[in-house]
A and B are shown apart, each in its own frame.
Chain A
Amino acid sequence: MTSDGPVCISVINMKGGVGKTTVAALLGRHASLAGLKVLAIDLDPQANLSQAFMGDQYKQFLADKKPSIVELFNGFRPPTPTTRLPTSIDVEDVMVSNTSLGGRNLKLIPSRFDFSDQLIDAVRPDQRVLANVIADSSEDWDIVLIDCAPTESILTRVAYQASRYVLVPVRPEYFATIGFPLLKDSLDDFKGRNRGHTIEVAGIVINNSSYHYSGNRGGPERRRSTIEIKREGQKNEWHIFEQEIPFSRGFPKIMRGDFSHPGDAVFFPDFAREFFEHIGLDS
């Protein structure tokens, strides 16, 4: 077993619906089942990653007012029906483990969709909170995966602060690369302000997330955009992964905890293996 050591990766694309959450969740699951210790962090106020991992438990989580990333940022738990003072927050309390999607080796820091409000309300949200949390528990993980929101915000900075790599899923469609210059600028700006921090794009993964791209349906449009993605990638010296993620109705099913008929989603590990090898992690 050779490995370059524990690593933190943010799954980012300034576009929505490209498969960030799907990729983050399934990479987490893959790593966990391979025996790696995984921390998955939901940085998207939409909380899709949390819902995917927790399924029906997410209802209870909301009802019980369990702590989430919101409380991690606030640094305390507000009073609840059972506690009548603000209480200190223990990172362990925030983590959800043993989910049916993530398995035994994965822990999740869940999100809530009042997260963005809370950050806007805060005078100066500290973009290093998450990096600190990870640093404090760094011995517990082989891999940390952060699922990001589709818009550039303070949360993008929060993700960068913790990450060594950025993974970018794209859909092979017209406009696929429109976000690339934005991402490049945003990363360059971050690097300029944080000179001691090494962060780079681990690569672009083509995710055929619509049936329009499967088989011949994507047609010349699909081929053109793939060429475009490769050209724009090369321009920025960003790696493009060989393995594409196939279209499969199995993906949305798995994401809601339905493991029957995964279809072509069974090929996801082809990409996962290539990705882990590329970043120097044995899975």
Chain B
Amino acid sequence: MTAISASALVKTFGRVRALDGLDLHVDVGEVHGFLGPNGSGKSTTIRVLLGLLRADAGSVSLLGGPWRDAVDLHRRLAYVPGDVNLWPNLTGGEAIDLFGSLRGGLDRRRRDDLIQRFQLDPSKRARTYSKGNRQKVAIVAAFASDVELYILDEPTSGLDPLMEAAFQECVREVKSQGRTVLLSSHIFSEVEALCDRVSIIRQGRTVESGTLAELRHLTRTSVSVDTARPITGLAELPGVYDAVVSTTHATFAVDTADLNRVLEYLTRFDVRALASAPPSLEELFLRHYGDELVGVR
């Protein structure tokens, strides 16, 4: 079952082509990471999904329908933007209840519990809240709602590490209840910790989509190796990059597809110690960002 299915979305703002044939597919029950450099179109995609912006072309289907009317759909989802603005003279608690009631009700016990967990003072007026505290108001309002889909656009920007942990716990809870989360984020550790699958977009187009393992497979593993005999010929092997060899010690990166062959080659030097690290999400990213800078792929 798909929770979100968007295909070939196009959205232009004047001469800016913010979305340029973007595809996004999220299954029910998964936590889906949505990554991309600044200005790549993540927020625009999310606004199109929410019906706040109308795409110039492409199709969107959320929670089993193209919806003629957004109201019924919106009862079944919760949204947290990256930059939360509240009504200055309302308290945080009032704002939480307001969002809850606009969404069609919220669980009071869960609301109070979340306020505790996020250490939010709900009686303060919104004008006195810091950025992180405003963010918490939206997060609490979202997770206190009984909905099937959470659409979160950089929800933790401005949260301290303790609150980040509380947020991750919330995401795990809703995931364990079989709910779906779309999480746009620039925080790699957060995405690595939470997401089943990720989509990476660039300039309004999806460039990669899959599980973290699948994405890793497309990239390089870094290897550090100690051998008994001096290593030769490593740098010349296909699929090996950035090799630094000092007699019996070498570090290099290898295309994950070539990993097995390279390890076989290394065994002839009598491997004593080997450490390999899968590429971090950050490295995956930098590769895409870097390509963008050089203009090749």
Q: Does A pair with B?
A: no
